[in-house]
Structure 1
């Protein structure tokens, strides 16, 4: 069955979806609904059926799947309305503003027997997949810490994203992606969450945050996002007991792996003089005790998300972005907000 996609909210992300979903065989974007007449006109100019009334949009029998791409605070009500109309539903991230809202959405999908998923497209990011492959292939040994960060220098957030009542802020905007990436690759569960949020330039929402996730395996993951960082650290920094990795950018054009070779354990300890004084522990390893490896190669595309939705609807595949996984991510985000409010680490409950 072809996916006949209708979009609710024809803004910037919706146009991105229109362009990318249309690349996939078996996925046709056919309609859009928006409360703004200008957006409806633009949708029509781009070849779509335009709707100003939600009930008329949902009554369109040609639409079998709906994408909700609106400000965050109305995701729940629009998604449930679409599911009650018998449509499969994709929601932009964050899926909702709380686990309680998400639970209502999951219940609606189960009641109406429709597909429900979330556009966690950064599971298909090139930099993430390269980092994950290096970890899973054992190139770093047993990994004990992962740092994931996105730094920008623009500072000011625009439009509804700058307002708390609309679900703005960086923890919802970027944090939901970066947290999902880490949770998606870890077999061990998060045991506790510690977070600090700041409003550096944008007074109503967080525009910088740092979240520390402690896993049952002993691994820690640090996730950091800031809109007013005039210098940037690597996108990824990962350490294991046999190696370390850094990736500097989203395309992974810059980065490398340093790993220990078989000579590493045979290197004699030697005291060296440094500007901070003599040291043995922090003396550099000899060059012949380490190997410098190129980052592994991956073949990945954001369009795989739509391919999966199409194949699930056809009964040919298992859903990749599952509501239960989205719920896990949202529960960690809720714990991060609570940690910031209390100043304490929050223990996760399952």
Structure 2
């Protein structure tokens, strides 16, 4: 691409488009949000007075001045819209999940590869402060060899809404809503698991789709537990991680989503979580004077060093890919892995048993043998 500014068109201006994509696109100096497809033009113009509002996605795809199309629409529309955008020669970003089936995701990846177009999925929680902090603790060996990781994303939303996510349709339910976040983070830390076990529940009165899940991922010498629910009022740990050298426990969500919902925009110092997690480590091991034969263990707890979150890194990375050929911030291959985990999890739930993946645990084995 010869120009130094990438012209962006956004399809959808609901919660995802309005809260995440539009402000983060605008925060990138190399991206320019020029057009939005929406059925509510007044809502768009209130936030983006300079952007043109179009009623149909086809009109956006036909515009020669649009380089990158961002799709932030209901999950079951991801495949047809991304396919049409790629057919029109556009680079494409899709809000998570990639699609509603792994086969659709594979078709889109093949189409993008053949057309030499960028295809990426907005797995923004790779840039959560707590996740980046945990990733740093694992990589620098602070926790030793990790043996157990519990990752939860709980909410208290007892009322069933009339939104598409709560209706009985493809891609609805909490597994397709929050599952991609937790699965992607686990995959980033440990690679693909050897097997998955999923339990889904419909807990709220009048609910049509799953609003609670428990997923177990099996790795060599490690068990990963992923949970999400719409009926948890008491705060639960976002992360609880145990290793051979100690534990890391973090309460509270990364603040970036809350700030964006409140209308705040990225500024210097953005992404610093004011609620750091707690490290509990073997004091003797930390000080380097443990005797292997000593039975008593003295533990010390302290605040974990916080790595700031940075959702702006995603679209800055997209710009670097398109302008300078840098690797995408989220590759289509990694997003396809998440789709494989989503589908294999559903297979596990239907069959009521663990289901193995063809390949898994390779990254974890490398981590353990470094």
What TM-score do the two structures reach when normalised by structure 2?
Answer: 0.84
Matches within 5 A, 1:46-61: 46-47=48-49, 48-61=51-64
Counterparts of 1:1-350 in structure 2, within 5 Å, are 1-16=4-19, 17-34=21-38, 36=39, 39-45=40-46, 46-47=48-49, 48-158=51-161, 159-187=163-191, 189-201=192-204, 203-215=207-219, 217-251=220-254, 253-260=275-282, 261=284, 262-263=289-290, 265=292, 267-268=294-295, 285=297, 289-350=298-359
**Alpha-carbon distance change, 157 to 25 in structure 1, aligned in 2, over 3 angstroms:** farther
Q: Distance in 1 between matches of 2:153 and 2:67?
A: 36
Q: 1:263: how far off?
A: 3.6
Deviation of the 1:265 alpha carbon: 4.3
Point out 4+ residue stretches in structure 1 off by more than 6 angstroms.
none
- For residues 255 and 265 of structure 1, what CA distance do their matches in structure 2 show? 29
Greater mean alpha carbon deviation, residues 290-299 or residues 239-248: 290-299
Structure 2 SS opposite 1:133: helix
- Does structure 2 conserve the Cα–Cα contact (< 8 Å) formed by 1:133 and 1:296? no
| 1:235-256 CA-partner distances (Å, limit 9, x unpaired) | 1000011111100112450421
- Give 1 or 2 for the bigger CA radius of gyration: 1
Name which structure has the greater RCO, CA cutoff 8 Å, separation 6+: 2
CA RMSD of aligned residues (A): 1.6
- Corresponding residue of 1:274: none
CA contact (8 A) 1:200 1:207 kept: yes
Contact 2:126–2:132, Cα closer than 8 Å, also in 1: yes
Whether contact under 8 Å (2:276, 2:303) holds in the other structure is no
1:220 to 1:75, Cα distance in 2 relative to 1, 3 A? same
With over 3 angstroms needed to count, the CA separation of the structure-2 counterparts of 1:27 and 1:246, relative to structure 1, is same
- In 1: Cα distance, 2:142 partner to 2:349 partner: 35
The answer (yes or no) to whether the contact 1:145–1:240 under 8 Å persists in 2 is yes
Cα distance change on mapping 1:267 and 1:156 into 2, 3 Å:
farther
Tell me if the contact between 1:213 and 1:221 (Cα under 8 Å) persists in the aligned partners: yes
Corresponding pairs, count: 327
Q: Deviations for 1:290-332, whole angstroms, at most 9, x for unmatched residues?
A: 2323212313310100000000001241112111111111111
CA offsets per residue over residues 170-193 of structure 1, 9 Å max, x none? 111111011101101214x31100
Q: In 1, Cα distance between the equivalents of 2:118 and 2:322?
A: 7
Instruction: Return the alpha-carbon distance in structure 2 between the equivalents of residues 157 and 302 of structure 1.
Output: 29
Alignment TM-score, normalising by the size of structure 1: 0.89
Partner Cα separation in structure 1 for residue 325 and residue 335 of structure 2: 22
Deviations for 1:164-213, whole angstroms, at most 9, x for unmatched residues? Answer: 314211111111011101101214x3110001000001532110000000
